[in-house]
Structure 1
């Protein structure tokens, strides 16, 4: 009686069904289709290899040829296996939810503005802001804060407060937050 090795039990953890492989391939195709639908500006924010960028460009050129596009999307799905999927998903998530990120940024800037206006020690607040963002102008910040405090005390329309917010929004960028 010959003994056969029981390797099939050892490989059990690494085994993936054919159906699972097909589902994963389909997910990569869908991800590739989403990437192909991006405009050039947003596509530039996605970390893709040269081969993938060339494939996306070709997909955009053949978009009116249905069968060729279907075959090419299969090819893009195959190329997607070699890409850094986590980085791509993170970049796409940022694109999909850019309005949420922009709202968060607006709220942060509003809170910063309110903190500057309501602070008793404005000079310390300005200094900490300038430490984080050295390209801001100290004199302009002081002037806008002083005018906003005056408007608040006199209960007049918050023109300077809005101007301070606008100044912060234009000069403090996402990478600086």
Structure 2
């Protein structure tokens, strides 16, 4: 009968094993890279051009966009995951986070312009001028803005035309194109445009 092997466990562990990540840590890292790869697959080719990707990863992402078969996409996603393990994830994550932050800022700016338009159109006639003054104070610094910043007279004209169009639509049952309201929105968007960094 063979002798039993006796094992001696050291409390501190081996020095090499202490530096190696655990199996759970490797799994978490793998899942994070897979999620990053899936996020990359949702980007358009134009957005992918702005990222620092290896040629193999760029080609794999382009091919993934062309594949329509479910099983083919699953296998291609596994391949992308394997390529992601060889890619520095930090800069990619930072670029995607910056992209997401810029999109959130654009959405917030859009809602701000929408709110100003609705306030100007819904306000009684006596309060429109005070709202316009508040809008002019809310505009970014005039010296730092681009040359296409609307003048106060242009803002007043756009507000007047949009209010007249809204009143005309309320007075009739006919469908009137909201051209003046859209023009007011574009003018407000130019007025509230953020100051761009000069590089």
Taking structure 2 as the reference length, the TM-score comes to 0.53
How far apart in 2 are the matches of 1:76 and 1:125?
47
Query: Match of 1:144?
Result: 154
Shift of 1:97: 7.3
Contact 2:33 2:89 in 1 (8 A): no
Shift of 1:99: 6.5
Contact 2:113 2:185 in 1 (8 A): yes
Shift of 1:141: 1.1
Larger radius of gyration: 2
How far apart in 2 are the matches of 1:37 and 1:62?
13
How far apart in 2 are the matches of 1:25 and 1:42?
24
Q: How many residues align?
A: 161
Where do 1:88-99 residues align within 5 Å? 88-93=92-97
- 1:157 maps to 2:163: yes
Match of 2:25 among 20, 26, 31: 20
The answer to which of 162-171 and 69-78 deviates more is: 162-171
SS in structure 2 of the partner of residue 176 of structure 1: coil
Match of 2:132 among 101, 104, 117: 117
Deviation readout 1:139-164 (Å, 9 max, x if unpaired): x4131245479x6xxxx938889755
Deviation readout 1:110-137 (Å, 9 max, x if unpaired): 68998982259x6x987x6432223225
Contact 1:133 1:172 in 2 (8 A): no
How far apart in 1 are the matches of 2:83 and 2:193?
34
- 1:8 maps to 2:14: yes
Cα 1:63–1:30 change in 2 (3 A) is farther
Superposition RMSD in Å: 4.6
Query: Match of 1:130?
Result: 142
Contact 1:141 1:164 in 2 (8 A): no
- 1:51 maps to 2:71: no
How far apart in 2 are the matches of 1:84 and 1:23?
16
Shift of 1:54: 0.8
Contact 2:64 2:77 in 1 (8 A): yes
How far apart in 2 are the matches of 1:131 and 1:158?
33
Shift of 1:80: 1.5
